[in-house]
Amino acid sequence: MNFDLSEEQKLIQETARQFASERLAPVAARLDREGDRETFLANLKELAGLGFMGLNVYQAYGGSETGSVAFSLAITEIARACASTAVTVSVNNMVCELIQSVGSEEQKLRYLPRICSGSYPAASFALTEPGAGSDAAALSTRAEADGDGWRLTGTKVFITSAPYAGVFVVWAVTDPAAGKGNGISCFLVEAGTPGLVIGREEVKTGQRASATNEVLLDGCRVPREALLGRLNDGYRIAMSELAGGRIGIGSLALGVGLAAMDFATAYAAQREQFDRKLVEFEALQWMIADSYTELEAARLLLMNAAFRKETGKGFAKEASMAKLFASDAANRACYKAVQMLGGYGYTASYPVERYARDARITSIYEGTNEIQRLIIAREVLRSFI
């Protein structure tokens, strides 16, 4: 198997790495502490100009059309500098791919160029509810037919980019009698639509520069053409797109884990105790060896899942494996990085404590790692039962 990147993939990776180093890394700590949204959004606009907001979108709709492998590479490089920016870029790409996959031609032409170009600072994926997290089929948000349109009522939570999203993909029950998971549809709801209310912003442990909000749908009326995909096919659409999103989150986790270990290893190579460099001690060498080995394994799992997706092969199991392993490996790497710095690792004077906070959520969102294990087991058992 050839693991070499194409020239285009190398260019995407290097462009992301350079932008992350020059523009994101210098401000990441400040954005984490102070939440400078103007700078955050300016960086997103520049990333859109570089083509990173629609990496797997056809050029006809304003995308870069570079594929899933390039997407994974880009998210990893961006996350090495700023996880908050990386998750926003990942969600944007997920929304774009969803619209491209199931949207009408009119919807594609209306929304994809706006998201890819940065005309919309971001786009949001509004699925999760207070009573429907891992159990996405348990939605309570309702969409009722209203003349030539639909009226949406309900509450969404943990919605990334809500305050500055230009469009939301919203899931709602359209046929309550169809049974759990069978009567759900999704809709495109533009920012500023009456009845779409951006609620409180969560105060989070990590990835603080990325806004995460409650979104209220208070009799929010949308036109008939806002229906995305087929009526009552929303649950299948959500599950399909979440599989692709897991490649993004796994790639993000990999980037954070690498950043933590790179910093800690460089620190340990300079720091002395007992008249020896820290890296001369076997205990730290084993931390370094274990972490980089696990992160390399995560990279290969992600490349496999991304390649399968890019070439049209089934990838749900592989995406879950990659997300599960990468996020767990990143969390372990970040905690080892804190340990390698000792007391300094627990202070905000060094970035490893931020990396540890940023990595923690990667084992929760886009499907908890417990859910990933259920998916993997289900797929494996198909050949035994």
Please check whether residue 122 is in contact with residue 92, taking contact to mean a CB–CB distance below 8 angstroms.
yes
Average pLDDT over residues 242-261: 96
Q: How far apart are the first and last CA of the chain?
A: 31
1-15, 82-96, 308-322: which has the minimum mean pLDDT? 1-15
- CB-count exposure of residue 145 (10 Å: 0-12, 13-18, 19+): exposed
Of residues 252, 262, 254, 256, the one with CA closest to residue 340 = 262
Q: What is the pLDDT of residue 1?
A: 60
- Structural domain count of the chain: 3
pLDDT tens track for 144-184: 999 999 999 999 999 999 999 999 999 999 999 998 889 99
Please check whether residue 332 is in contact with residue 300, taking contact to mean a CB–CB distance below 8 angstroms.
no
Residues 269 and 151 grouped into a single domain: no
- For residue 261, CA distances in Å to 257, 288, 294, 328, 331 come to 6, 7, 11, 14, 11
Measured CA to CA, the distance from residue 338 to residue 381 in angstroms comes to 38
Within 10 A of 190 (CB to CB), how many other CB atoms are there?
16
State both tokens at 142: 């309702």
The reply to whether 22 belongs to the active site is no
* Residue 188 neighbours by CB under 8 Å, 6+ apart: 99, 103, 107, 111, 167, 168, 169, 170, 222, 226, 228
Of residues 201, 170, 204, the one with CA closest to residue 187 = 170
- CATH label of the domain that carries residue 171: 2.40.110.10
Q: Is the pLDDT of residue 120 over 90?
A: yes
Residues 31 and 106 grouped into a single domain: yes
Catalytic residue among 77, 129, 241, 366: 366
pLDDT tens track for 336-370: 999 999 999 999 999 999 999 999 999 999 999 99
pLDDT band at 239 (very low <50, low <70, confident <90, very high): confident
State both tokens at 22: 């020059």
Q: Which of 100, 120, 140 is the last residue of a domain?
A: 120
Residues 265 and 375 grouped into a single domain: yes
Q: Which neighbouring-strand residues pair with 159? A: 213
Q: What is the pLDDT of residue 241?
A: 84
Of residues 160, 136, 171, 322, the one with CA closest to residue 246 = 322
Please check whether residue 89 is in contact with residue 78, taking contact to mean a CB–CB distance below 8 angstroms.
yes
Residues 376 and 240 grouped into a single domain: yes
Q: Is the pLDDT of residue 122 over 70?
A: yes
Please check whether residue 166 is in contact with residue 93, taking contact to mean a CB–CB distance below 8 angstroms.
no
Within 10 A of 1 (CB to CB), how many other CB atoms are there?
6
1-5, 72-76, 169-173: which has the minimum mean pLDDT? 1-5
For residues 379, 382, 383 and 385, what is the CA-based torsion angle, rounded to 10 degrees?
A: 150
- Is there a domain that residue 1 lies in? no
Residues 248 and 358 grouped into a single domain: yes
Of residues 107, 222, 122, 209, the one with CA closest to residue 174 = 222
Q: Are strands 272-273 and 184-190 parallel, antiparallel or unpaired?
A: unpaired
Q: Is the pLDDT of residue 380 over 70?
A: yes
The more confident residue out of 243 and 194 is 194
Residues 147 and 200 grouped into a single domain: yes
Q: What is the pLDDT of residue 39?
A: 97
Got the DSSP string for 247-261?
HHHHHHHHHHHHHHH
Share of the chain above pLDDT 70, in %: 100
Q: Please give the DSSP secondary-structure letter assigned to residue 24.
A: I
- Is there a domain that residue 371 lies in? yes
pLDDT band at 231 (very low <50, low <70, confident <90, very high): very high
131-140, 190-199, 212-221: which has the minimum mean pLDDT? 131-140
Q: What is the pLDDT of residue 79?
A: 98
Residues 173 and 259 grouped into a single domain: no
Q: Which of 179, 213, 232 is the last residue of a domain?
A: 232
- CATH label of the domain that carries residue 295: 1.20.140.10
What is the chain's mean pLDDT, rounded?
Answer: 96
Share of the chain above pLDDT 90, in %: 93
Average pLDDT over residues 236-262: 94
Residues 17 and 108 grouped into a single domain: yes
Average pLDDT over residues 21-43: 96
- pTM score of the predicted model: 0.95
Q: Which domain, by its residues, includes 184? A: 124-232
Residues 170 and 271 grouped into a single domain: no
- For residue 343, CA distances in Å to 291, 337, 350 come to 20, 11, 10
Residues 71 and 158 grouped into a single domain: no
